[in-house]
Structure 1
């Protein structure tokens, strides 16, 4: 009789916990499993369920507090960046009125500072791309020409020759795409060889996508480091040697491309070239509108 009782009890308990495990796998939010556990006559089951409920609620409250603190910090960073942009704009206008090599160097430093501030702003907003973007048809030629014009003092100071062959229209958010391409342009300037350098922008149309190829003849990337160039905080040998790398530029480009439904990949041969390619899927439905 005892063996029969314990055998039936074991079978029922096994089935009970198997059902709980199955429901947890099927739930979109597994931490709410306590809501799905059926009520039983066993006091210990109800006690465990109540403990699980209180523990889950406590964890959710802690997560909510952390999210609120993070949002407050991001709002502060965004507000601070917008405040910083005002004096930087004034510096940019004042430097444009000056003449000589010192004025050009000052303008280059201001442009570099603006890029760093933009990087901080877009990084703060990178988790909320869906709240601040508009996908529409944009001209790659127009975006790149505007960036070349904006960074002309930086390019002149570094003796960079620019070639643009981008007669193509793609679907993307113009503001976010401009930031991504600008980061890649700055990288090409940052890691150029001594003397004059070259950077080219070329659009290649394919059946289901358009590829934007950005290539420079700079110092290149070590073959064993190439797979890690999009990792957060990765600076590589060249970044450590120059002391200019932050390890966030390419990481942020990769993250934003993923948010916008684009892809980015890199190829390089050390001391020869670096080539970064952004792939824009063709939206046949939007193109017919």
Structure 2
């Protein structure tokens, strides 16, 4: 605080002091005049001067007492704005200032304890979710092996010898019919297993993104082979959904400064979104899905384009909000409204941009801009809070 601020705080006291001095002088003057005595103006002015000096000394003394606590408040505010540890308030100054300082210290200690408890619970939640998801991956891996063995058994049954007459021919025909009926069930099981794997992976990524630690390491990444790997991981899903993916890159190698792991996560979510909404209902013919890779100045722009059901214009402003599914989510009960929210969060923390352009019934295009930058978004560097 400045000297002017302290004086203004004492303004009421100074005003009352001046009023009291003026009333005293007025009473003395009226009393002398009523008795017919001469008014000693020089003595009165001298007394007023002494009173003013005493008042000024009292004000300066009061300001001097209040200054240390004002400096402590300024230091605490500076530490708060910089995000660092806040110094403990010193119990100095007036009695009122000392009482306020004690209250501020008590409030800060209480908030600090609550913050530590919240961080402890968050870490426990993250550890629990991570462990649960990893434990679930083991039975999923076993399911994958069992499904593969079952598919091989069905294929071997179809390819087995069949006789043309008698009971042998009838048994072979029944076996082929049963195998043909089991094949769609195996495809459905495989699809549900892949969906469960995607949900567990999304659970892990949600815990990582929303926790206090965002482990990002920027590096030069060749985005074309990364996108190709993401697309190839869903070969069976492309066939089931009658989608034909294609990567349209302006060059065989296109480097961008980003985090490869999180870029793969973003591409994975956008690809899964295309698998879910990239084919109009009732369409048996194949639909294209194109990932365009272009350079725009120093940036790299990735466009994920489908010709599916599209998104209504009313839903576009809220598309990246958590748990928002919109009109399409009512048609697809499996929509969670988490994937695109996580994509937006990761893009903001990496300093990337994500935009969407869509027309209902005609398709959707997600445009991801990887800026040519060697720094992360400030939101990704906020894990200094864990060092308190």
> TM-score band (shorter)?
0.7 to 0.9
Q: Match of 1:172?
A: 258
SS across alignment from 2:364: strand
> Which has the higher mean CA deviation after the structures are superposed, 238-247 or 27-36?
27-36
Kept after mapping to 1: 8 A contact 2:126/2:211: no
Query: How far has the Cα of 1:28 moved from its partner?
Result: 3.1
Deviations 1:210-258 (A, max 9, x none): 1000011111111122121111121111112222221111000010112
Q: Which sits farther off after the overlay, 255-264 or 265-274?
A: 255-264
Q: Does residue 70 in structure 1 map to residue 122 in structure 2?
A: yes
Which stretch shifts more, 209-218 or 29-38? 29-38
If asked which structure has higher relative contact order (CA below 8 Å, sep 6+), I would say 1
Map 1:123-272 to 2 at 5 A.
123-127=206-210, 132-166=215-249, 167=252, 168-191=254-277, 192-194=279-281, 195=283, 196-272=286-362
Q: 1:27 aligns with which of 65, 69, 79?
A: 79
Q: Is contact 2:306-2:365 (8 Å) kept? A: yes
Q: Which residue of 1 aligns with 2:135?
A: 83
Give the Cα–Cα distance (whole angstroms) in 2 for the partners of residues 212 and 96 of structure 1: 35
The alpha-carbon distance between structure 1 residues 177 and 147, as it changes in their structure 2 partners (threshold 3 A), is same
Distance 1:31 1:176 in 2: 29
| C-alpha distance in 2 between matches for 1:267 and 1:38 | 59
TM-score (norm 2): 0.65
Unaligned runs of 5+ in 2: 1-13, 19-54, 155-182, 376-388
> CA 1:129/1:182 → structure 2, altered by over 3 Å: closer, same or farther?
farther
Conserved? CA contact 2:89–2:105, under 8 Å: no
Higher helix share: 2
SS at match of 2:314: coil
Correspondences of 1:86-97 after superposition (within 5 Å) = 86-97=138-149
TM-score norm. by structure 1 comes to 0.86
Q: Confirm or deny: 8 A CA contact 1:265 1:278 kept in the other structure.
A: yes
User: How many Å separate the matches in 2 of 1:38 and 1:224?
Assistant: 57
Which runs of 5 or more residues in structure 1 are unaligned? none
The Cα RMSD (Å) is: 2.9
Assess if the C-alpha contact under 8 Å between 1:108 and 1:157 holds in 2: no
Classify 1:238/1:175 alpha carbon distance in 2 versus 1 (closer, same or farther; 3 Å).
same
Larger Rg over CA atoms: 2
Deviations along 1:111-158, one digit per CA (max 9) or x if unpaired, are: 111111111000000145865333222222222222222111111111
Count of residue pairs brought into register by the alignment: 282
